Structure 1
Amino acid sequence: MAESFLLGALRRGRSVEQFLGPCGSAGRPGVRYVEVRAAKTSFEVYLHTVEDAGSEGFFDLGEFPPFDPDDEAGEFGRLLGMAEDPLAALIVAEQCAGAGRGRWVNEGIVQDEYGDFVRAGRPSDASPGGWLWPEMPDVTGPRA
């Protein structure tokens, strides 16, 4: 999504998301995605880490259980940070979750990217589009 469309969507109160790829282990696979959403007076950045519970016919990441079942806040995502403007929120997502500026999609489209990941055999090193999965920076932010 072009940056101007991305910032416009956030200013209109729409969320944007980015699929970050696999996490966990072969015995306990998970996936991560990051979301930037508008709040009343700011923009919030959430990291979602869920069990890789999908199949070729089931891509609804919002329905997947949290990767850490003991983390009640994990069900809603981990709040990585907040910012007063959308561009600053994108920078938080880049610094705290390894998000890439050119890979954002509208809310709900991240599920299609997960579907591409499943159909490609769940590659561990790079996305079906060829870009390397980001490494998760070591951050300890507030929990949602």
Structure 2
Amino acid sequence: MRYLTRQFAIGALRRGNGIEQFLGGIEISGERAIRWVAISPMNRRYRVSLHTVRDPDDDQVGDLPNLISLDPADEAYVGEGRELALSEDPEEAMALAEHLTDANPGRWVNHAVAGEEYMDYVRSRRDAPQST
């Protein structure tokens, strides 16, 4: 089981470890993209960021921050995403992330695990029956 309980997610943040959630696919200007939300501890605060990148449709790609961003103007550094909120409280940061991105409260994972969710997403698309 890769999903964190609420208490484990909060504990991870308090220990200085980030959490994230794969949000799925989206189409932007006719281009296939994927999104995920991350909460990263930094300087006694918690940064909520939204990442929107090109979908390479490759079930071997799990390092999502290295994919081509579709929000490059909002990123000072590759992979940092668009900042949505800052909070001094980890529970509030999670609530903000869920509210601002429609993230599911029961689907948070440790940092760098959203890539596994993406790979599962690609495989499920390929395994889906094709309509004729």
Q: For the superposition of Structure 1 and Structure 2, which TM-score range results when normalised by the shorter chain?
A: 0.7 to 0.9
1:113 aligns with 2:120: no
Structure 2, unpaired ranges of 5+: 128-132
Deviations 1:75-120 (A, max 9, x none): 4201000111100000110111111111000011100000000001
Amino acid at match of 1:73: E
Query: Is the CA contact 1:46–1:81 (under 8 Å) kept in the aligned structure 2?
Result: yes
Residue of structure 2 equivalent to 1:73: 75
1-side partners of 2:93 and 2:71: how far apart? 25
TM-score (norm 2): 0.84
Question: Of residues 17, 20, 24 in structure 2, which corresponds to 1:21?
Answer: 24
1: distance between equivalents of 2:74 and 2:36? Answer: 18
Describe how 1:95-134 pairs up with structure 2 within 5 A: 95-121=99-125
Instruction: Measure, in 1, the Cα distance between the counterparts of 2:52 and 2:42.
Output: 21
Tell me the equivalent position of 2:87. Answer: 83
Larger strand percent: 2
Q: How does 1:26-41 map onto structure 2 within 5 Å?
A: 27-41=30-44
Residue number among 50, 53, 72 corresponding to 1:50 in the alignment: 53
- Distance in 1 separating the partners of 2:43 and 2:74: 24
- Residue in structure 1 matched with residue 97 of structure 2 by the alignment: 93
Q: How many angstroms does 1:58 deviate by?
A: 1.9
Aligned residues: 122
Q: TM-score, normalised by structure 1?
A: 0.78
